Amino acid sequence: MTATLNIVGAGHVGRTLGRLFAARGVFDLRDVKTRASASAQAAVAFIGAGRAVADAQPMRPADVWMLAVADDAIAGAAAALAQSEPVTGAVVFHCSGAKASGELDALRRAGALVASVHPVRSFADPATVAASFDGTFCGVEGDDAALATLLPAFEAIGARPVRIDAAAKTVYHAAAVFASNYLVTVMDAALRAWQAAGIPADVARELARPLATETLANVLRLGPEAALSGPIARGDGATVARQHAAVTAWDGPTGALYGALATATCDLARRKRAGQT
């Protein structure tokens, strides 16, 4: 028989995974519970399966439970579930990239097998993610017995699980922030600087396109040391100092960002030179 699944919290991540599990017959979706009945009903409509459950209603037993709640709500949701539902022998996992499976310790003490599975995607548009999920990497850690159930389930919806060290979960998530959020911040600084030089915003974005896309492609193909070019890689400290001073005079916070990035880039350049000797 197909294992049953309950979902607690059904924002973008919960409803996307729920749709994929249901559509591919991985789990028999039972109950979807959120703080408001309207959001539970909307989630069930998006998923195309399951029963909407309001916050005060009990849920039916299930083989697998997904806690798709906000990071800071995981421990509280786990404690509440451990007190209200029979979970002995059940697999319970959360989807946070920032918190480890230890957030589910209350459930582990209640007899559940716990884990975390973090899909490395932006879920701003659940329908688009659900349609293109194949190949998505997922950082996984937790009880081996839980992962024995979850790894094949996620592989069945096209995921590529990668085991991570639970003790380094925060650093793992920071890596995603560097690769996504801070990349946007650096590009914002570049575009604003070009605009300060008199280039219109739409032209600045087109000017940035080949530099940014080719550089990222080189990093992913060759590695950061080989991809690094520019004044720091050449050892042109005078140019870097002039740029730092000019950017600081134009915009102090952006100047501070330039200085911090220059320090980090000097370290990368040293690694680049060491690799060439």
Do residues 148 and 267 share a domain? Answer: no
Do residues 98 and 155 share a domain? Answer: yes
Q: What is the pLDDT of residue 66?
A: 98
Do residues 30 and 100 share a domain? Answer: yes
Is 210 a member of any domain? yes
75: domain CATH number is 3.40.50.720
Is 174 a member of any domain? no
Do residues 120 and 142 share a domain? Answer: yes
Last residue of a domain, one of 134, 167, 200: 167
Q: What is the pLDDT of residue 178?
A: 95
Is 232 a member of any domain? yes
Q: What is the pLDDT of residue 196?
A: 97
In this prediction the pTM is 0.84
Is 145 a member of any domain? yes
Q: What is the pLDDT of residue 220?
A: 97
Count of domains observed in the chain: 2
Do residues 227 and 159 share a domain? Answer: no
DSSP string, the chain: -PPEEEEE--SHHHHHHHHHHHHTTSSEEEEEE-SSHHHHHHHHHHHT-SEEE-TTS-----SEEEE---GGGHHHHHHHHHHHS--TT-EEEE--SSS-GGGGHHHHHTT-EEEEEEE-S--SSHHHHHHT-TT-EEEEEE-HHHHHHHHHHHHHTT-EEEE--GGGHHHHHHHHHHHTHHHHHHHHHHHHHHHHTT--HHHHHHHHHHHHHHHHHHHHHH-HHHH--SHHHHT-HHHHHHHHHHHHHH-HHHHHHHHHHHHHHHHHHHHHHHHH-
Range of the domain at 160: 4-167
Q: What is the pLDDT of residue 187?
A: 98
Is 175 a member of any domain? no
Do residues 99 and 8 share a domain? Answer: yes
Last residue of a domain, one of 167, 191, 225: 167
Q: What is the pLDDT of residue 122?
A: 87
Do residues 161 and 207 share a domain? Answer: no
Is 172 a member of any domain? no
266: domain CATH number is 1.10.1040
Do residues 102 and 186 share a domain? Answer: no
Q: What is the pLDDT of residue 221?
A: 97
- Residues (pLDDT < 70) of the chain are 277
Do residues 150 and 224 share a domain? Answer: no
Q: What is the pLDDT of residue 56?
A: 73
Do residues 88 and 206 share a domain? Answer: no
Do residues 9 and 88 share a domain? Answer: yes
Is 173 a member of any domain? no
Do residues 77 and 187 share a domain? Answer: no
Residues 175-207: tens digit of each pLDDT: 989 998 999 999 999 999 999 999 999 999 999
Last residue of a domain, one of 137, 167, 197: 167
Q: What is the pLDDT of residue 57?
A: 83
